[in-house]
Amino acid sequence: MTTVTMDDRPVTVPDGATVLTAARQLGIAIPTLCHRDGLEPQTACMACVVRIAGWDRLVPACAITCTEGMVIASETDEAVGAARRRAVELLLGDHLGDCDAPCQLADPLGRHIPRMIRHVAAGDIAAAAATLAAGADGGLPAPDEVDTDRPETACRRGRHDAPVAIGELMHYVVRAAQQRGIAPAPRPAPRRRSVCVHMGRLDADEMAVLLAQANPAGRVVASRAEGYTDAEACAEAARCLHCDCRAAATCALREAAETVGATVPRGAGERRRLEIDAEHPAVIHEPGKCIACGLCVQITAARGEPVGMAFVGRGFGVRVRPAMGRSLAEALTVSTDACVDACPTGALAWR
């Protein structure tokens, strides 16, 4: 066993344990983005740096082995905190995606409008009603209480042809829930996160990337005075670009940013271009969200993938893509679950 001191607290860990292990044993939360238990340390994100007495530089906690008598500063060192913020802000500045969709940000209650729309498309009225009821004191609002203007005005699809009929879909959900006797219980409003990355305005080619995942038809007009039929609501819901992040609730980058007090850099230079690889039957790959943590590269190699994932390019432009120019479906076969679960940003996410 090895005893070290971290933030003025002694801790004894098994021989060969890392500084990160010691921190966890003490209950010290050190952010990690490229670390996964059981895999080799990547030291790519540098979000877990600490100071070790007698060393001339800050070092990643995930890769340094504890030695007897080591004195470590983590939460007590201002320079460590500043270095972690810089590391995370560099990643945020190169991260392309909307944490929350424009319609969600415009909604007064911050409800997950894209999720409601997905439930409508799937015919799950109960789940759609529960999403719409979030944050409303009385549960599901009455049809005349639905705020339809702001989310719809913010819809990104409106920059192409016509916005998704969010207001009409909300009215449809309320009516359908009432007709089916569905009365979701009131729930707290979704927590508004302090860190939110925005793609901003997309050009025509990037908009085409989003449109390729949606119903290309124009806005559906209700055939009856009371509003959409089930089929019409489903067709209109399919027009949604789903420009929210599929992993917003579990994004480790967003969590690390909030932990270290990082902010999204403004005017940090030319951003990445939007890419979406939807060729895999179960997984969406968005290279713009990748922080090159290398976890999927290790996992596919460990699982014996014939193709797997690999680092492509050099320097700041390095990206992780299917190896040898092959398809994502060829790269992820037996390791799909593990790679999606390990991805810290939603660059690999379930459809």
Q: Is the pLDDT of residue 137 over 70?
A: no
- Residue 48 corresponds to which tokens in the numbers above? 């877990």
Per-residue b or e along 209-232, where b marks 16 or more CB atoms closer than 10 Å to that residue's CB: bbbeebbeeeebebeeeebbeeeb
- Determine contact, residues 3/25, Cβ cutoff 8 Å: no
Q: How many residues are listed for the chain in this entry?
A: 351
Looking at residue 146, what is its pLDDT? 67
Mean pLDDT of 4-32: 96
Looking at residue 271, what is its pLDDT? 81
Location of structure tokens 């890769």: 63
Q: Is the pLDDT of residue 49 over 90?
A: yes
CA atoms within 13 A on the CB side of 64: 23
pLDDT digits (tens, 9 = 90+) for 138-155: 567 766 666 667 899 999
Mean pLDDT of 114-123: 96
CA distance 215 to 166: 15
Mean pLDDT of 307-311: 96
CA distance 22 to 13: 6
Amino acid at 33: L
DSSP-derived secondary structure letter, 12: E
* β partners of residue 319: 312
The residue ranking higher by pLDDT, 125 or 141, is 125
Among residues 54, 63, 83, the alpha carbon closest in space to that of 19 is found at 63
Q: Longest C-alpha distance within the chain, in Å?
A: 77
What structural domains does the chain harbor? Answer: 2-93 (3.10.20.740), 102-237 (1.10.1060), 272-350 (3.30.70.20)
123 CB burial (10 A radius; 0-12, 13-18, 19+)? middle
Looking at residue 109, what is its pLDDT? 80
pLDDT digits (tens, 9 = 90+) for 162-207: 999 999 999 999 999 999 999 887 777 777 788 899 998 899 999 9
- Determine contact, residues 263/89, Cβ cutoff 8 Å: yes
pLDDT digits (tens, 9 = 90+) for 259-282: 999 999 886 567 889 999 999 999
Sequence-distant (≥ 6) Cβ neighbours of residue 83 within 8 angstroms: 46, 49, 58
Looking at residue 315, what is its pLDDT? 73
Mean pLDDT of 35-44: 92
pLDDT digits (tens, 9 = 90+) for 60-82: 999 999 999 999 999 888 999 99
pLDDT digits (tens, 9 = 90+) for 220-232: 999 999 999 999 9
Looking at residue 268, what is its pLDDT? 57
